[in-house]
Amino acid sequence: MRTIRATTISILALSLLAGSAVGVAAQDEEAAAVSAFTGVARPDGKELPIEGTEVTLPNGFTESTPGFAWQDRWESSDPRFAGDHIVISNWVIDPNWFDPWSRGEQANILIATRHELTNDGGSWLGEGTSLASTDLDVAIETIVFVGRDGYAGLTAYAIIDNTRTPATFSGAIFPAAMPEFPEPYVAE
């Protein structure tokens, strides 16, 4: 009888270990997968106080360093990429920026941004570039986020459409760091 019990216990133990191994393998596969997301930046944010400098460039454009700082909340289909969001930006804007905006169009502007997105699981630090163009009627930003804390080792790439309110975004979380930029090509 003891032999049967010992055998039964051994079989159960091996089954549990095998099941655990399958569960760990499933978690590893999930961690190794690319996860796409979509989301929205809540429009009820607030401008943050900052000290900035504006310089009129020789071509009449205005360079603002920093241009503005903003705090809002991002909602996302992937809970890892949702939470409290702060952006600070520098920009160069067309001297006639108000004319297109008064008509509901985009002004000509180049923006460099730094983002921080934080939630209970960790945080993301990102750098982005934006272009708004009167002729193209676009206001688009691309941002590469580096995962920190609970998201260390992950990279999120986001594309933000700022042509509407609230702004929408889409992108993907990669289970790897962003590769280094290559050196310029040198012909032999």
Q: What is the pLDDT of residues 84-140, one digit of tens each?
A: 999 999 999 998 887 887 887 888 999 999 999 999 999 999 999 999 998 888 999
- pLDDT in the model for residue 164: 84
Residue with tokens 């241009």: 67
What count of other Cβ atoms lies within 10 Å of the Cβ of residue 92?
18
Domain 33-174 has CATH 2.60.40.10: no
Residues 6+ apart with CB under 8 A from 86: 48, 69, 70, 71, 115, 116
- Condensed to tens digits (0 to 9), the pLDDT of residues 44-75 reads 889 999 999 999 999 999 999 998 899 999 99
Which residues partner with 91 through β-bridges?
Answer: 64, 111
Which residues neighbour 134 within 8 Å (Cβ) at sequence distance 6 or greater?
Answer: 94, 100, 105, 106, 107, 108
pLDDT value, residue 137: 86
Q: Which of 1-5, 58-62, 114-118, 182-186 has the highest mean pLDDT?
A: 114-118
Q: Which residues contact 91 (CB under 8 A, 6 or more apart)?
A: 63, 64, 67, 109, 110, 111, 112
| Residue 13 scores a pLDDT above 80 | no
pTM, whole model, 2 decimals?
0.78
User: Residue range 19-38: average pLDDT?
Assistant: 61
**Residue 176 vs residue 12, higher pLDDT:** 176
Q: Average pLDDT of the chain?
A: 84
CA–CA gap between residue 22 and residue 74 (Å, rounded): 34
pLDDT at residue 31, rounded to an integer: 62
Residue the block writes with tokens 């169009």 = 105
Write down the domain spans for the chain: 1-31, 33-174
The answer on pLDDT for 6 being more than 50 is no
